[in-house]
């Protein structure tokens, strides 16, 4: 009886304290867990629902495309994550859709196709494997890679991913997300954030998000990250303390340290893509998107753009760093939220790529 009493006395108070803290964070509404990002809960997330007819037979958010192209067709294959997929804009506002229109209005005797095989949640490792196992079968003349600063993340390795399965397409992601929003259980496909809305409109700073290595099973961390405000608050506080002590860089700089596994994997993937495409004489365009915050002030991630661009050039890629096209503008002018361009931002990206293609890619001159 004494053992039971003391056991209850030792267990119940901490549980009550944790419960009160969790309840307090939920009631306060100051912070909310959203996917893999710790953000302030301000306005609701920006989203443009897609229609079923926006997906082709391959499951891409694109027009219907035939694997075998017409001899008079110049085909550009676009791959990327949720930015290139077109989160927050309509189909005809995606920069790849706009680029196709621009190319076909220039009076060339060729017909241009700009395909969009992007899937939200992809990183550069998924894009490399898709390109090698599926993308090349569509006979692209040019490959366009839409790269965001978080594309070096290693949430889950793609070894068990089946590129040929319909379950790994943009259409599947969209349908799973709709089921998730309607309360149905959906198993994660690519990463811990793929079935969640992008973060609400906030003003992220360099302390805004920190990867952390906690020795817990992935499934448990994923569940706690999705369901517990307290877990995410403690995780954020722990990393913030390490950063204040100079023991940890702020996100996304943590991804790009010379000894960081993420950056090593990212560089290897870019080198392999560049080498493979060079052997096949297929030009590759690396398009680097900025975060859409602090553009009109001191943008804190400029050195990462230079670092990524340097590896792209070393990999024989043509590089379009979009930061100079956006820097100095108000974030609300070109961004739907801090992470995604709006229709104006997509238009600026399309114009920058169009200009570069005519300057550096001989097949389009």
Distance CA(61)–CA(23), nearest Å, equals 40
Quote the pLDDT of residue 143.
Answer: 97
**Inside any domain, residue 195:** yes
Residue 346 near residue 116 (C-beta atoms within 8 A): no
Residue 292 near residue 345 (C-beta atoms within 8 A): yes
How do the pLDDT tens digits run along the chain, 365 residues long? 567 666 666 776 777 777 777 777 777 765 554 433 333 333 334 445 555 557 888 888 999 888 888 889 999 999 999 999 998 899 999 999 999 999 999 888 889 999 999 998 889 999 999 999 999 999 999 999 999 999 998 765 555 556 566 556 777 767 666 665 555 433 333 333 333 333 333 333 333 334 445 555 555 666 776 677 777 777 777 766 766 665 556 778 888 988 888 999 999 999 999 999 999 999 999 999 999 998 987 899 999 999 999 999 999 999 999 999 999 999 999 999 889 999 999 999 999 999 999 888 776 65
Quote the pLDDT of residue 258.
Answer: 86
C-beta neighbour count of 28 within 10 angstroms? 10
Count of structural domains within the chain:
1
Quote the pLDDT of residue 28.
Answer: 73
Quote the pLDDT of residue 344.
Answer: 96
**Inside any domain, residue 245:** no
The parent domain of residue 99 ranges over: 35-209+251-364
- The CATH number of residue 149's host domain is 3.40.50.1110
Residue 336 near residue 46 (C-beta atoms within 8 A): yes
Residue 259 near residue 169 (C-beta atoms within 8 A): no
Distance CA(339)–CA(144), nearest Å, equals 20
**Inside any domain, residue 10:** no
Distance CA(351)–CA(157), nearest Å, equals 34
**Inside any domain, residue 219:** no
Residue 217 near residue 225 (C-beta atoms within 8 A): no
**Inside any domain, residue 221:** no
**Inside any domain, residue 25:** no
Torsion from C-alpha of 19, 22, 25, 29, nearest 10 degrees: -110
Residue 150 near residue 290 (C-beta atoms within 8 A): no
Distance CA(154)–CA(120), nearest Å, equals 14
**Inside any domain, residue 26:** no
**Inside any domain, residue 102:** yes
> At which residue do the structure tokens 């569509």 appear?
138
Quote the pLDDT of residue 247.
Answer: 57
């Amino acid at each position: 009886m004494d053992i039971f009493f003391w056991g209850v006395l030792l267990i119940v108070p901490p549980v009550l304290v944790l419960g009160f803290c969790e309840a307090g964070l939920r009631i306060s509404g100051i912070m909310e867990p959203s996917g893999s990002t710790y953000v302030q809960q301000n306005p609701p997330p920006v989203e443009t629902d897609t229609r079923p007819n926006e997906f082709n037979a391959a499951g891409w958010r694109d027009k219907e495309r035939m694997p075998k192209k017409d001899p008079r067709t110049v085909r550009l294959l676009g791959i990327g994550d949720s930015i290139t997929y077109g989160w927050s804009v309509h189909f005809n506002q995606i920069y790849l859709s706009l680029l196709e229109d621009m190319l076909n209005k220039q009076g060339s005797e060729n017909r241009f196709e700009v395909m969009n095989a992007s899937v939200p949640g992809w990183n550069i490792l998924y894009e490399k494997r898709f390109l090698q196992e599926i993308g090349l079968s569509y006979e692209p003349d040019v490959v366009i890679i839409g790269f965001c600063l978080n594309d070096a993340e290693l949430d889950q390795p793609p070894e068990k991913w089946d590129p040929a399965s319909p379950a790994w397409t943009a259409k599947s992601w969209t349908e799973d997300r709709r089921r998730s929003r309607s309360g149905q259980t959906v198993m994660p496909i690519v990463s811990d954030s793929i079935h969640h809305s992008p973060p609400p409109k906030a003003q992220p700073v360099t302390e805004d998000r920190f990867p952390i290595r906690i020795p817990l099973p992935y499934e448990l961390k994923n569940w706690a990250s999705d369901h517990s405000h307290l877990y995410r608050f403690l995780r954020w506080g722990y990393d913030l303390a390490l950063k204040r002590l100079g023991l940890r860089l702020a996100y996304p700089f943590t991804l790009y340290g010379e000894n960081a596994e993420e950056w090593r994997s990212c560089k290897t993937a870019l080198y392999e893509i560049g080498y493979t495409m060079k052997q096949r004489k297929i030009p590759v365009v690396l398009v680097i998107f900025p975060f859409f915050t602090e553009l009109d002030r001191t943008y804190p991630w400029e050195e990462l753009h230079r670092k990524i661009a340097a590896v792209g050039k070393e990999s024989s890629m043509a590089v379009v760093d979009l930061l100079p096209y956006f820097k100095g503008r108000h974030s609300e002018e070109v961004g739907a939220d801090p992470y995604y361009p709006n229709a104006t931002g997509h238009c600026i990206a399309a114009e920058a790529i169009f200009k570069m293609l005519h300057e550096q890619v001989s097949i389009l001159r």
